[in-house]
Amino acid sequence: MPDDAAAWPSPMVPRIARVRRRFPEGPKVWTLEIEEDGGAGMSFAPGQFNMLSVFGVGEIPVSMSGDASDASCIVHTIRAVGPVSAALAGLESGDILGVRGPFGMGWPMAEAEGHDVVIVAGGLGLAPLRPALYHLLCRRSCFGKAVLLYGARSPEDILFRHELDTWAREQIIDAVVTVDHARSSWNGHAGAVTTLIPRAGFDPKRAIALVCGPEVMMRFAITALRSAGVSAQAIYLSMERNMKCAAGLCGRCQFGPVLVCRDGPVFRFDSLRSLLAIKEL
Amino acid sequence: MEGLERIIKEHPFFAGLPGEFCQLICGCAKNARFEAGQYLFHEGEPANEFYLLREGRVALQLQDPGRGAVIFQTLGPGEIVGVSWLIPPYRWTYEAKALETVRAIAMNAFCLRQKCEADHDLGYDMMKRFMPVLIERLQATRLQILDVYGAHA
Protein backbone atom coordinates (compact mmCIF):
# COMPACT_ATOMS: atom_id res chain seq x y z
CA MET A 1 0.00 0.00 0.00
CA PRO A 2 1.56 3.33 -0.98
CA ASP A 3 1.87 6.14 1.53
CA ASP A 4 -0.65 8.21 -0.33
CA ALA A 5 -3.43 5.64 -0.49
CA ALA A 6 -5.82 8.21 -1.91
CA ALA A 7 -3.72 8.34 -5.07
CA TRP A 8 -4.72 4.75 -5.81
CA PRO A 9 -8.26 4.56 -7.11
CA SER A 10 -10.24 1.84 -5.41
CA PRO A 11 -11.88 -0.61 -7.82
CA MET A 12 -14.93 -0.46 -5.57
CA VAL A 13 -15.51 3.30 -5.82
CA PRO A 14 -17.29 4.58 -8.91
CA ARG A 15 -15.73 7.40 -10.84
CA ILE A 16 -18.01 10.11 -12.11
CA ALA A 17 -18.69 10.18 -15.82
CA ARG A 18 -21.07 12.03 -18.09
CA VAL A 19 -23.07 11.00 -21.11
CA ARG A 20 -21.62 12.72 -24.15
CA ARG A 21 -24.02 11.25 -26.66
CA ARG A 22 -26.90 8.80 -26.65
CA PHE A 23 -28.47 7.23 -29.67
CA PRO A 24 -30.92 4.40 -30.38
CA GLU A 25 -29.80 1.09 -31.84
CA GLY A 26 -33.10 -0.77 -31.88
CA PRO A 27 -36.15 -1.51 -29.75
CA LYS A 28 -35.18 -0.61 -26.14
CA VAL A 29 -31.49 -0.64 -27.07
CA TRP A 30 -29.37 2.47 -26.72
CA THR A 31 -25.71 3.25 -27.13
CA LEU A 32 -24.14 5.68 -24.68
CA GLU A 33 -20.89 7.48 -25.32
CA ILE A 34 -19.53 8.57 -21.96
CA GLU A 35 -16.48 10.43 -20.75
CA GLU A 36 -15.10 10.67 -17.27
CA ASP A 37 -15.13 14.01 -15.49
CA GLY A 38 -11.74 15.63 -15.71
CA GLY A 39 -11.15 14.14 -19.12
CA ALA A 40 -9.44 11.02 -17.82
CA GLY A 41 -9.36 8.40 -20.53
CA MET A 42 -9.79 4.68 -20.11
CA SER A 43 -7.75 1.90 -21.64
CA PHE A 44 -9.47 -1.42 -22.01
CA ALA A 45 -9.15 -4.66 -23.91
CA PRO A 46 -11.89 -5.91 -26.26
CA GLY A 47 -14.26 -8.09 -24.25
CA GLN A 48 -13.80 -6.34 -20.91
CA PHE A 49 -16.68 -4.70 -19.04
CA ASN A 50 -17.43 -1.80 -16.73
CA MET A 51 -19.77 -1.59 -13.77
CA LEU A 52 -22.13 1.28 -14.58
CA SER A 53 -24.27 2.86 -11.90
CA VAL A 54 -27.17 5.25 -11.85
CA PHE A 55 -27.00 6.82 -8.43
CA GLY A 56 -29.97 5.94 -6.30
CA VAL A 57 -31.02 3.15 -8.65
CA GLY A 58 -28.24 0.57 -8.83
CA GLU A 59 -25.25 -0.82 -10.66
CA ILE A 60 -24.88 -3.42 -13.43
CA PRO A 61 -22.04 -4.85 -15.54
CA VAL A 62 -22.00 -3.70 -19.15
CA SER A 63 -19.43 -4.67 -21.75
CA MET A 64 -17.62 -2.02 -23.71
CA SER A 65 -18.93 -1.84 -27.28
CA GLY A 66 -16.65 0.85 -28.68
CA ASP A 67 -13.18 1.09 -30.09
CA ALA A 68 -10.49 0.20 -27.54
CA SER A 69 -7.97 2.34 -29.43
CA ASP A 70 -9.98 5.46 -28.60
CA ALA A 71 -9.37 6.00 -24.88
CA SER A 72 -11.13 9.36 -24.80
CA CYS A 73 -14.61 7.96 -25.12
CA ILE A 74 -16.17 4.89 -23.53
CA VAL A 75 -19.02 3.32 -25.45
CA HIS A 76 -21.65 1.01 -23.99
CA THR A 77 -24.67 -0.51 -25.66
CA ILE A 78 -27.51 -1.21 -23.26
CA ARG A 79 -30.89 -2.89 -23.56
CA ALA A 80 -33.49 -1.58 -21.16
CA VAL A 81 -34.79 -4.74 -19.49
CA GLY A 82 -34.55 -4.02 -15.74
CA PRO A 83 -34.67 -0.95 -13.48
CA VAL A 84 -30.94 -0.17 -13.72
CA SER A 85 -30.54 -0.86 -17.43
CA ALA A 86 -33.70 1.17 -18.11
CA ALA A 87 -32.33 4.05 -16.04
CA LEU A 88 -28.99 3.86 -17.85
CA ALA A 89 -30.65 3.67 -21.24
CA GLY A 90 -32.75 6.68 -20.30
CA LEU A 91 -29.79 8.93 -19.49
CA GLU A 92 -29.52 11.99 -21.67
CA SER A 93 -26.54 13.95 -22.89
CA GLY A 94 -24.86 15.64 -19.91
CA ASP A 95 -26.34 13.31 -17.27
CA ILE A 96 -23.93 11.78 -14.78
CA LEU A 97 -23.35 8.14 -13.97
CA GLY A 98 -20.83 6.08 -12.04
CA VAL A 99 -18.17 3.94 -13.68
CA ARG A 100 -15.99 1.22 -12.21
CA GLY A 101 -13.65 -0.73 -14.40
CA PRO A 102 -12.48 -1.98 -16.74
CA PHE A 103 -12.77 -5.51 -15.40
CA GLY A 104 -12.24 -9.05 -16.59
CA MET A 105 -10.37 -10.97 -19.23
CA GLY A 106 -11.10 -10.05 -22.82
CA TRP A 107 -11.01 -11.72 -26.22
CA PRO A 108 -7.71 -13.41 -27.22
CA MET A 109 -6.83 -10.95 -29.95
CA ALA A 110 -3.08 -11.55 -29.79
CA GLU A 111 -3.51 -15.33 -29.97
CA ALA A 112 -5.89 -14.91 -32.91
CA GLU A 113 -3.26 -13.23 -35.09
CA GLY A 114 -2.30 -15.44 -38.00
CA HIS A 115 -5.55 -17.36 -37.73
CA ASP A 116 -8.89 -17.24 -39.47
CA VAL A 117 -11.29 -15.51 -37.09
CA VAL A 118 -14.92 -16.56 -36.91
CA ILE A 119 -17.14 -14.29 -34.85
CA VAL A 120 -20.54 -15.68 -33.95
CA ALA A 121 -22.87 -13.19 -32.29
CA GLY A 122 -26.47 -13.42 -31.23
CA GLY A 123 -28.72 -10.51 -30.31
CA LEU A 124 -27.07 -8.02 -27.98
CA GLY A 125 -24.02 -10.33 -27.98
CA LEU A 126 -22.71 -8.34 -30.91
CA ALA A 127 -21.98 -5.42 -28.57
CA PRO A 128 -19.15 -7.09 -26.56
CA LEU A 129 -17.72 -8.36 -29.84
CA ARG A 130 -17.63 -5.00 -31.59
CA PRO A 131 -14.36 -3.92 -29.92
CA ALA A 132 -12.83 -7.19 -31.16
CA LEU A 133 -14.11 -6.39 -34.66
CA TYR A 134 -12.60 -2.90 -34.51
CA HIS A 135 -9.30 -4.41 -33.42
CA LEU A 136 -9.42 -6.97 -36.20
CA LEU A 137 -10.26 -4.34 -38.81
CA CYS A 138 -7.50 -2.06 -37.56
CA ARG A 139 -4.92 -4.85 -37.88
CA ARG A 140 -6.62 -6.64 -40.76
CA SER A 141 -3.42 -7.91 -42.39
CA CYS A 142 -2.44 -9.73 -39.18
CA PHE A 143 -5.39 -12.10 -39.44
CA GLY A 144 -6.50 -14.68 -41.97
CA LYS A 145 -10.04 -14.86 -43.21
CA ALA A 146 -12.45 -12.93 -40.99
CA VAL A 147 -16.07 -13.98 -40.76
CA LEU A 148 -18.88 -12.37 -38.79
CA LEU A 149 -22.05 -14.41 -38.38
CA TYR A 150 -24.70 -12.39 -36.61
CA GLY A 151 -28.19 -13.48 -35.64
CA ALA A 152 -30.90 -11.07 -34.56
CA ARG A 153 -34.52 -11.51 -33.65
CA SER A 154 -35.90 -9.51 -36.58
CA PRO A 155 -34.61 -6.91 -39.05
CA GLU A 156 -35.68 -4.16 -36.63
CA ASP A 157 -33.43 -5.65 -33.92
CA ILE A 158 -30.19 -5.62 -35.93
CA LEU A 159 -27.52 -3.65 -34.07
CA PHE A 160 -24.91 -1.39 -35.64
CA ARG A 161 -26.64 -1.75 -38.99
CA HIS A 162 -24.69 1.02 -40.66
CA GLU A 163 -21.34 -0.56 -39.78
CA LEU A 164 -22.50 -4.03 -40.79
CA ASP A 165 -23.55 -2.65 -44.17
CA THR A 166 -20.20 -0.90 -44.57
CA TRP A 167 -18.16 -3.98 -43.65
CA ALA A 168 -20.19 -6.15 -46.01
CA ARG A 169 -20.04 -3.62 -48.84
CA GLU A 170 -16.31 -3.05 -48.53
CA GLN A 171 -15.70 -6.79 -48.15
CA ILE A 172 -13.25 -6.21 -45.31
CA ILE A 173 -14.80 -9.16 -43.56
CA ASP A 174 -17.42 -11.69 -44.58
CA ALA A 175 -20.35 -10.34 -42.60
CA VAL A 176 -23.54 -12.38 -42.76
CA VAL A 177 -26.61 -11.28 -40.86
CA THR A 178 -29.60 -13.50 -40.30
CA VAL A 179 -32.87 -12.96 -38.47
CA ASP A 180 -35.21 -15.38 -36.75
CA HIS A 181 -38.20 -14.08 -38.65
CA ALA A 182 -39.03 -11.24 -41.00
CA ARG A 183 -41.76 -9.72 -43.12
CA SER A 184 -41.77 -10.58 -46.79
CA SER A 185 -40.10 -7.27 -47.64
CA TRP A 186 -36.87 -8.57 -46.02
CA ASN A 187 -34.33 -9.59 -48.64
CA GLY A 188 -31.60 -10.84 -46.30
CA HIS A 189 -31.05 -14.16 -44.58
CA ALA A 190 -33.51 -15.78 -42.20
CA GLY A 191 -32.96 -18.69 -39.85
CA ALA A 192 -30.82 -19.48 -36.81
CA VAL A 193 -27.30 -18.05 -36.81
CA THR A 194 -25.89 -21.52 -36.13
CA THR A 195 -27.01 -22.69 -39.59
CA LEU A 196 -24.58 -20.20 -41.15
CA ILE A 197 -21.53 -21.88 -39.59
CA PRO A 198 -21.23 -24.90 -41.94
CA ARG A 199 -21.45 -22.57 -44.95
CA ALA A 200 -19.12 -19.83 -43.73
CA GLY A 201 -16.13 -21.03 -45.72
CA PHE A 202 -13.36 -20.69 -43.13
CA ASP A 203 -10.54 -23.14 -42.48
CA PRO A 204 -11.55 -24.96 -39.27
CA LYS A 205 -8.00 -26.13 -38.66
CA ARG A 206 -6.63 -22.59 -38.44
CA ALA A 207 -9.69 -20.79 -37.12
CA ILE A 208 -10.31 -19.16 -33.77
CA ALA A 209 -13.96 -18.62 -32.92
CA LEU A 210 -15.31 -15.85 -30.70
CA VAL A 211 -18.87 -16.47 -29.57
CA CYS A 212 -21.21 -14.21 -27.63
CA GLY A 213 -24.95 -14.33 -27.16
CA PRO A 214 -27.59 -16.03 -25.04
CA GLU A 215 -26.17 -19.17 -23.44
CA VAL A 216 -28.50 -21.51 -25.33
CA MET A 217 -27.44 -19.96 -28.61
CA MET A 218 -23.77 -20.29 -27.64
CA ARG A 219 -24.21 -23.99 -26.86
CA PHE A 220 -25.76 -24.57 -30.30
CA ALA A 221 -23.03 -22.47 -31.91
CA ILE A 222 -20.32 -24.49 -30.18
CA THR A 223 -21.90 -27.72 -31.42
CA ALA A 224 -21.95 -26.36 -34.96
CA LEU A 225 -18.35 -25.12 -34.71
CA ARG A 226 -17.16 -28.46 -33.35
CA SER A 227 -19.05 -30.27 -36.15
CA ALA A 228 -17.31 -28.00 -38.65
CA GLY A 229 -13.96 -29.14 -37.26
CA VAL A 230 -12.98 -26.28 -34.94
CA SER A 231 -11.13 -27.57 -31.88
CA ALA A 232 -12.38 -26.94 -28.34
CA GLN A 233 -9.17 -25.02 -27.64
CA ALA A 234 -9.95 -22.58 -30.44
CA ILE A 235 -13.41 -21.56 -29.26
CA TYR A 236 -13.86 -18.63 -26.87
CA LEU A 237 -17.12 -17.52 -25.36
CA SER A 238 -18.25 -14.62 -23.23
CA MET A 239 -20.25 -15.73 -20.20
CA GLU A 240 -22.83 -13.70 -18.37
CA ARG A 241 -23.59 -14.09 -14.69
CA ASN A 242 -24.93 -11.76 -12.02
CA MET A 243 -21.88 -9.71 -11.07
CA LYS A 244 -21.75 -7.41 -8.08
CA CYS A 245 -18.24 -6.51 -6.92
CA ALA A 246 -16.60 -7.27 -10.31
CA ALA A 247 -13.29 -7.70 -8.49
CA GLY A 248 -13.43 -11.36 -7.53
CA LEU A 249 -14.37 -10.68 -3.91
CA CYS A 250 -18.07 -11.31 -3.37
CA GLY A 251 -18.48 -14.62 -5.19
CA ARG A 252 -21.84 -13.61 -6.64
CA CYS A 253 -20.79 -14.59 -10.15
CA GLN A 254 -19.24 -17.90 -9.19
CA PHE A 255 -19.54 -20.47 -11.97
CA GLY A 256 -18.23 -23.71 -10.55
CA PRO A 257 -14.58 -23.12 -9.70
CA VAL A 258 -14.31 -19.81 -11.57
CA LEU A 259 -15.50 -16.27 -10.96
CA VAL A 260 -16.90 -14.82 -14.16
CA CYS A 261 -15.96 -11.23 -13.25
CA ARG A 262 -12.33 -12.06 -12.50
CA ASP A 263 -11.53 -15.11 -14.62
CA GLY A 264 -13.84 -14.13 -17.49
CA PRO A 265 -16.15 -13.01 -18.87
CA VAL A 266 -14.28 -14.48 -21.86
CA PHE A 267 -13.33 -18.12 -21.39
CA ARG A 268 -11.81 -20.75 -23.62
CA PHE A 269 -14.48 -23.36 -24.23
CA ASP A 270 -12.43 -26.35 -23.06
CA SER A 271 -12.05 -24.72 -19.64
CA LEU A 272 -15.83 -24.52 -19.22
CA ARG A 273 -17.02 -27.53 -21.19
CA SER A 274 -17.93 -29.69 -18.19
CA LEU A 275 -19.56 -26.76 -16.37
CA LEU A 276 -21.89 -25.78 -19.18
CA ALA A 277 -23.67 -29.11 -18.86
CA ILE A 278 -24.51 -28.58 -15.18
CA LYS A 279 -27.92 -26.98 -15.06
CA GLU A 280 -27.60 -25.98 -11.39
CA LEU A 281 -24.82 -23.58 -12.39
CA MET B 1 -28.95 -36.37 -69.18
CA GLU B 2 -25.16 -36.38 -68.84
CA GLY B 3 -25.26 -32.72 -67.83
CA LEU B 4 -27.89 -33.38 -65.19
CA GLU B 5 -25.90 -36.31 -63.84
CA ARG B 6 -22.81 -34.14 -63.49
CA ILE B 7 -24.76 -31.33 -61.80
CA ILE B 8 -26.36 -33.75 -59.34
CA LYS B 9 -23.03 -35.39 -58.53
CA GLU B 10 -21.42 -32.00 -57.92
CA HIS B 11 -24.23 -30.70 -55.73
CA PRO B 12 -23.15 -30.70 -52.04
CA PHE B 13 -26.32 -32.48 -50.99
CA PHE B 14 -25.38 -35.47 -53.15
CA ALA B 15 -21.65 -35.46 -52.38
CA GLY B 16 -20.27 -38.99 -52.68
CA LEU B 17 -23.41 -40.39 -54.28
CA PRO B 18 -22.65 -43.80 -55.87
CA GLY B 19 -22.81 -43.76 -59.66
CA GLU B 20 -25.64 -46.29 -59.90
CA PHE B 21 -27.81 -44.20 -57.56
CA CYS B 22 -27.00 -41.09 -59.52
CA GLN B 23 -28.21 -42.73 -62.72
CA LEU B 24 -31.39 -43.81 -60.97
CA ILE B 25 -32.31 -40.41 -59.59
CA CYS B 26 -31.32 -38.61 -62.78
CA GLY B 27 -34.41 -40.10 -64.34
CA CYS B 28 -36.47 -38.08 -61.84
CA ALA B 29 -34.62 -34.79 -62.36
CA LYS B 30 -35.09 -31.76 -64.56
CA ASN B 31 -33.76 -28.21 -64.68
CA ALA B 32 -35.90 -25.49 -63.14
CA ARG B 33 -35.69 -21.71 -63.10
CA PHE B 34 -37.65 -19.16 -61.08
CA GLU B 35 -37.56 -15.40 -61.37
CA ALA B 36 -37.40 -13.17 -58.30
CA GLY B 37 -40.80 -13.07 -56.62
CA GLN B 38 -41.99 -16.28 -58.26
CA TYR B 39 -43.23 -19.05 -55.98
CA LEU B 40 -41.72 -22.53 -56.07
CA PHE B 41 -44.79 -23.83 -54.26
CA HIS B 42 -47.58 -22.78 -51.92
CA GLU B 43 -48.74 -24.11 -48.56
CA GLY B 44 -51.25 -26.96 -48.91
CA GLU B 45 -50.29 -27.93 -52.43
CA PRO B 46 -49.12 -31.49 -53.17
CA ALA B 47 -45.38 -31.86 -52.53
CA ASN B 48 -44.63 -33.24 -55.96
CA GLU B 49 -41.05 -32.03 -56.19
CA PHE B 50 -38.09 -30.96 -54.15
CA TYR B 51 -35.29 -28.71 -55.34
CA LEU B 52 -31.50 -28.76 -55.33
CA LEU B 53 -30.53 -25.10 -55.37
CA ARG B 54 -27.73 -24.15 -57.75
CA GLU B 55 -28.03 -20.37 -57.86
CA GLY B 56 -30.09 -17.78 -56.06
CA ARG B 57 -31.84 -17.69 -52.70
CA VAL B 58 -35.27 -18.91 -51.67
CA ALA B 59 -37.38 -17.72 -48.73
CA LEU B 60 -39.51 -20.20 -46.82
CA GLN B 61 -42.49 -18.44 -45.32
CA LEU B 62 -45.88 -18.84 -43.73
CA GLN B 63 -48.94 -16.67 -44.22
CA ASP B 64 -50.02 -15.18 -40.91
CA PRO B 65 -53.41 -13.45 -40.99
CA GLY B 66 -52.93 -9.83 -40.08
CA ARG B 67 -49.18 -9.90 -40.62
CA GLY B 68 -48.95 -11.31 -44.11
CA ALA B 69 -46.04 -13.52 -45.09
CA VAL B 70 -43.50 -14.24 -42.34
CA ILE B 71 -40.13 -15.52 -43.52
CA PHE B 72 -38.62 -18.08 -41.15
CA GLN B 73 -35.76 -19.43 -43.24
CA THR B 74 -33.80 -18.59 -46.34
CA LEU B 75 -31.86 -21.13 -48.37
CA GLY B 76 -29.15 -20.72 -50.96
CA PRO B 77 -26.90 -22.54 -53.43
CA GLY B 78 -25.87 -25.99 -52.28
CA GLU B 79 -28.96 -26.45 -50.14
CA ILE B 80 -32.25 -28.22 -50.74
CA VAL B 81 -35.77 -26.87 -50.66
CA GLY B 82 -38.50 -29.21 -49.54
CA VAL B 83 -38.74 -32.22 -47.26
CA SER B 84 -42.52 -32.61 -47.19
CA TRP B 85 -42.35 -34.96 -50.16
CA LEU B 86 -40.82 -37.61 -47.86
CA ILE B 87 -43.70 -38.06 -45.44
CA PRO B 88 -47.44 -38.56 -46.08
CA PRO B 89 -49.66 -36.75 -46.84
CA TYR B 90 -46.98 -35.27 -49.16
CA ARG B 91 -48.23 -31.69 -48.96
CA TRP B 92 -46.30 -28.47 -48.45
CA THR B 93 -46.71 -26.97 -44.99
CA TYR B 94 -45.24 -23.62 -45.98
CA GLU B 95 -44.54 -21.67 -49.16
CA ALA B 96 -41.27 -21.02 -50.96
CA LYS B 97 -40.55 -17.83 -52.90
CA ALA B 98 -37.54 -16.95 -55.01
CA LEU B 99 -35.77 -13.87 -53.59
CA GLU B 100 -33.70 -13.57 -56.75
CA THR B 101 -33.33 -15.53 -59.94
CA VAL B 102 -33.10 -19.17 -58.90
CA ARG B 103 -31.64 -22.03 -60.89
CA ALA B 104 -32.32 -25.46 -59.48
CA ILE B 105 -32.70 -29.12 -60.20
CA ALA B 106 -36.29 -30.19 -59.58
CA MET B 107 -36.64 -33.77 -58.46
CA ASN B 108 -39.96 -35.50 -59.16
CA ALA B 109 -41.02 -36.76 -55.75
CA PHE B 110 -43.43 -39.46 -56.95
CA CYS B 111 -40.74 -40.88 -59.24
CA LEU B 112 -38.13 -40.80 -56.49
CA ARG B 113 -40.41 -42.35 -53.87
CA GLN B 114 -41.15 -45.22 -56.26
CA LYS B 115 -37.44 -45.79 -56.89
CA CYS B 116 -36.71 -45.71 -53.16
CA GLU B 117 -39.44 -48.30 -52.56
CA ALA B 118 -38.05 -50.52 -55.32
CA ASP B 119 -34.43 -50.16 -54.15
CA HIS B 120 -34.14 -49.84 -50.38
CA ASP B 121 -30.41 -49.21 -50.62
CA LEU B 122 -31.23 -46.07 -52.58
CA GLY B 123 -33.97 -45.24 -50.06
CA TYR B 124 -31.55 -45.65 -47.16
CA ASP B 125 -28.97 -43.46 -48.89
CA MET B 126 -31.60 -40.79 -49.42
CA MET B 127 -32.70 -40.97 -45.78
CA LYS B 128 -29.10 -40.59 -44.61
CA ARG B 129 -28.84 -37.42 -46.67
CA PHE B 130 -32.14 -35.95 -45.58
CA MET B 131 -31.91 -36.75 -41.87
CA PRO B 132 -29.01 -34.35 -41.12
CA VAL B 133 -30.87 -31.60 -42.96
CA LEU B 134 -34.02 -32.33 -40.97
CA ILE B 135 -32.10 -32.41 -37.68
CA GLU B 136 -30.28 -29.16 -38.45
CA ARG B 137 -33.55 -27.45 -39.30
CA LEU B 138 -35.23 -28.89 -36.21
CA GLN B 139 -32.47 -27.57 -33.97
CA ALA B 140 -32.58 -24.18 -35.66
CA THR B 141 -36.34 -24.12 -35.18
CA ARG B 142 -35.88 -24.82 -31.46
CA LEU B 143 -33.65 -21.78 -31.16
CA GLN B 144 -36.19 -19.67 -33.01
CA ILE B 145 -39.08 -20.94 -30.88
CA LEU B 146 -37.15 -20.17 -27.70
CA ASP B 147 -36.88 -16.56 -28.88
CA VAL B 148 -33.44 -16.41 -27.26
CA TYR B 149 -32.88 -12.81 -28.32
CA GLY B 150 -36.15 -11.66 -26.78
CA ALA B 151 -36.44 -9.27 -23.86
CA HIS B 152 -36.27 -12.09 -21.30
CA ALA B 153 -32.89 -13.26 -22.63
Q: Which of A49, A77, A69, A76 is nearest to A61 (CA)?
A: A49
CB-facing half-sphere around the CA of A16: CA atoms within 13 A: 5
Instruction: With a cut of 70, say whether residue A277 has pLDDT above it.
Output: yes
* C-beta atoms of A214 and B69 within 8 A: no
**What DSSP assignment string belongs to B14-50?**
GTT--HHHHHHHHTTEEEEEE-TT-EEE-TTSB--EE
ipTM confidence score? 0.87
pLDDT at B2: 57
Contacts of A187 in chain B (CB under 8 A): 99
What is chain B's mean pLDDT, rounded?
93
Predicted structure pTM score: 0.91
A273 versus B131: the higher-pLDDT residue is: B131
CB A91, CB A97: distance < 8 Å = yes
Instruction: With a cut of 60, say whether residue A102 has pLDDT above it.
Output: yes
Average pLDDT value for residue range A192-197: 94
Dump pLDDT digits (tens) for B107-151: 999 999 999 999 999 999 999 999 999 999 999 999 898 998 886
Contacts of A123 in chain B (CB under 8 A): 148-149, 153
pLDDT at B150: 80
Distance from A191 to chain B by nearest Cα, in Å? 4
pLDDT at A152: 96
Distance from B150 to chain A by nearest Cα, in Å? 7
Dump pLDDT digits (tens) for A39-72: 667 889 999 999 999 999 999 999 999 999 988 8
* Out of A184, A186, A194, closest to residue B140 by CB: A194
**What DSSP assignment string belongs to A119-143?**
EEEEGGGHHHHHHHHHHHHHTGGGS
B61 interface with A at CB cutoff 8 Å: yes
Average pLDDT value for residue range A219-227: 94
B136 interface with A at CB cutoff 8 Å: yes
Q: What percent of chain B has pLDDT over 90?
A: 83
